[in-house]
Chains A and B, each alone.
Chain A
Amino acid sequence: MLDERELATRPIVQDSVQHNARTVSNIRALTASLFGVAAGTLGLESIPGFIFYALGTAVVSVLIFAFKAESEPKAYFYRPMADLWAGDMFGGLMSFVLTWTLFYNLAKA
């Protein structure tokens, strides 16, 4: 109820929300495969590889926060916690694993 009232007094632009979500998910997909390249080249295995991915996505979140959202995530994301910091955390995981295994095989085997 409170949420609805908040939306009525301060409406949000659906187009911008979609545009922002698409931009962030593009960045995440690209960087996830880059982290896969790095993890495979370093020869990480099992848990350290996934920890590397988690650290990498955290770094990318901070970069988006600093460069794209101008340190004001409230102005660009409806729910900053879900849309910027935690959102799409696992969306890039598949491409990460793909390039991880590929480059692990290229550089190690």
Chain B
Amino acid sequence: MAVGATAINILGFVFLSHAVYSAYEHSLLPSASQPTPPSRLLPSFLDPRVNLPLDITLETLFSVLLLCVGVVLSSPELKPIQWNVWAGRLERSKEARATKEVGVGGGNPFAGVEERPGFLDIRGQRKEFARWVREGER
């Protein structure tokens, strides 16, 4: 995809340069300064009054469209914003599980969430909390 996008960009850039240079050369002709006849379809304030031959106009528009497609294709991929989609993709990806250094990466990216202590003394914790509350009241 990246090679195709670069090729489209280069092609569009060549076409655009050619179109702009053609428009410049056309503006040097003595006949170029004559005003264009007003459009019959559009009202005067919407009339674009393009004073160029049709092929240069079409080449400009075509090259800009080509460059737009190239720019959109060559930009980085969007990332999903929903947590479950994003996390699922991360969990399935090879990079997140690959070991990068000693102790870095490798295994489950959600190890911190999934690996919890197997036994918690809930009653002990409650007693501790109750004692703390009682001491705070005093």
Contacts and interface: CB of A to CB of B under 8 A. Distances in A.
Contacts of A26: 75
Contacts of A38: 16, 60-61, 64
Contacts of A82: none
B60 A42 contact: yes
B20 interface: yes
B3 interface: no
Q: What class of interface size applies to chain A in its complex with B? A: 35 or more
Interface stretch (B46-54, B94-102, B109-117, B130-138): B46-54
Interface residues of B, number: 37
Nearest to A75: B80
Interface in B51-76: 51-52, 57, 60-61, 64-65, 67-69, 71-73, 75-76
Contacts of A15: 79
B81 A76 contact: yes
A45 B77 contact: no
A17 B83 CA distance: 11
Interface of A: 10-13, 15-17, 19-20, 23, 26-27, 30-31, 34-35, 37-38, 41-48, 51-52, 56, 59-60, 63-64, 67-69, 75-78, 103, 106-108
